[in-house]
Amino acid sequence: MKTISYPGAVGEPLQADLHVPAGDGPFPLILAVSGGGWVRGHRGALNAWGRYLAERDFAFASIDYRRATAGAPAYPGNAEDVAAGLRYFSDHGLGHRIDPQRIGVLGVSAGGHLGALVSLSTAFNCPQPKAFAGIYGVYDLMAHWQADQAVNSVTAPDKTEIMLGKRLFSDPLLYHMASPLRQITETRSMPVFLCWGHVDRDVSPQQSSTFADALRQAGYPVTALEFPDAGHLWFSEDGPDVAGSHSARLAPSLLRFFERSIKA
């Protein structure tokens, strides 16, 4: 693994933890977007997956993006940073032994939101990836905000509000435009893999099931894997090499999805 720097959306450099298999390549790339509720997190949380996939002839880049702080919303800059990663590896992949024509996106939790949004929307001026995989992601910010209001105390800061800088009903159109579910069209199809747990207390399982239904209705080929006993955070906390973990149970299916969608 090595850490590389590349231009961000506004000229500030971003970094990526890059895993590339041994050999000449060029290799298909999985561009990974880590979670953290839009306000925290680090690209290094996915390095166990980078090692696993590089051993199986995939390049893997876990990328930076802007996190939100109180008074400093991150959107749309965080999505633009993800788009900058796609543009960089599409334009300069061969210099890293990466095939720029075979790029997929993997997003986790808040990273699932950003990865799906950039993959589906035409607003971010970047190449569309060949495939998207989302792990317990947030796909409808309106429904997510409403679910948070129902379970959080009135004094708890709402991460969606911090990220967008607005409450839902002060700017509902902003929530609409920032929601991957609302960007699905019949003209921008690609294979999609979704995985989630039924006992997730941080992101409602309904986020993934509703997203999967809408994608299928629009003609997207969708693979879904549900874990009745899984909550949140497990994808980053346990690598695929941890025997008996949800990550180890997921790994063969996720690998098979990327082999079929971007490796062939």
| Closest by CA position to 201, among listed 236, 232, 155 | 232
**Per-residue pLDDT at 71:** 80
Task: Find the mean pLDDT for residues 57-74.
Answer: 93
**Interhelix angle 47-54/246-258, nearest 10 degrees:** 50
Q: Please compute the mean of the pLDDT values over residues 220-236 and round it to a whole number.
A: 98
Task: State the pLDDT at residue 111.
Answer: 98
pTM value is 0.97
Please give the Cα distance from 205 to 202 (Å, whole number). Answer: 9
Identify the three-state secondary structure at position 29: strand
Name the percent of the chain lying above pLDDT 70.
98
Residue 154 has pLDDT above 70, yes or no: no
The two tokens of residue 225 are 């894997």
For the segment 73-102, the average pLDDT, to the nearest whole number, is 97
Instruction: Report the pLDDT value the prediction gives residue 109, as an integer from 0 to 100.
Output: 98
Q: Which residues lie below 8 Å from residue 71, measured CB to CB, with a gap of 6+?
A: none
Predicted pLDDT of residue 70: 72
The CA-CA-CA angle for residues 36, 192, 199, to 5°, reads 50
Residue ranges of domains in the chain, CATH in brackets: 2-258 (3.40.50.1820)
Q: In whole numbers, what is the pLDDT of the chain averaged over residues?
A: 95
Q: How confident is the model at residue 181 (pLDDT cuts 50, 70, 90)?
A: very high
Asked whether the predicted pLDDT for residue 263 surpasses 60, the reply is yes
